[in-house]
Amino acid sequence: MDEITAQELKDRLAHSSNIQLLDVREPEEFEICNLGGELIPLGELSRQSARIRRDIPVVVICHHGFRSAQAINYLTQRLGFDNLLNLKGGIHAWATQVDPSMAVY
């Protein structure tokens, strides 16, 4: 599984908007802190997979990187996606390494 660090994601977002952010946490978690992007909770992936782009890189985000890894395994093995990157350490890594003003939980 391909991964991207919080710093690498920050750099990519600064130089290109040609990336989709897919957050697979629950709505209550998304309300606490998020990077924008599409919110599709892990349990909704099968029903909402049409919202996920196949033509550009998609960074999958969760709290610490475990649910996003599950999401990537599902999307690649069951639906044939090949453009997914796991945010290593999840939104928590972003908050601690990139944006210390972001709420943590």
Active site residues: 62
Distance CA 46, CA 42 (A): 9
Distance CA 69, CA 82 (A): 13
Distance CA 38, CA 19 (A): 11
Find out whether 7 and 54 touch, Cβ atoms under 8 Å: no
